[in-house]
Amino acid sequence: MREIAQILGVTPSSLRDQLRTGEMVLLPERVGSAGLCVQFGWTRSAQSLYRRKGVLPPPDGQDGRALWWWQETIDSWVEATELYWCPDCHHAFVAAAGAREHWTRVHG
């Protein structure tokens, strides 16, 4: 983030604020850990577990401690991975057993 801010001639905190408010957009689109949680209906702990176990592709980059992926990386991963989606709450599971357990526990 620091290098991008320097190229743009702004401070890193100003760049973060402009990105947060939508005043500035960096393309291609990047997805952070929170974005993955929203996109797939995961908790932070589930997303972290999937990342540590190698279920998710390696992050494309890191800003400080925050990991991020290009949206294209995630889209390619989704195409190559069999995900099991809950039809009621649209949460994604990487295993059929997880989807069944969710369905029984939450919707059963």
Tell me what the mean pLDDT of segment 50-59 comes to: 96
Residue 34 has pLDDT above 80, yes or no: yes
User: Which DSSP helix (H) or strand (E) runs through 84?
Assistant: strand 84-85
DSSP designation for 10: S
**What is the tens place of the pLDDT at every residue in 61-75?**
998 899 999 999 999
Residue 58 has pLDDT above 80, yes or no: yes
Residues of the chain with pLDDT > 70, as a percent, come to 100
Q: What is the pTM of this model?
A: 0.74
> Between these two residues, 1 and 5, which has the higher pLDDT value?
5
Query: Model confidence at 29, in pLDDT bands (50, 70, 90)?
Result: confident
The amino acid occupying position 68 is W
The amino acid occupying position 69 is W
> Which residues 6+ apart lie within 8 Å of 26 measured at CB?
4, 19
The C-alpha atoms of residue 20 and residue 17 are separated, in whole angstroms, by 5
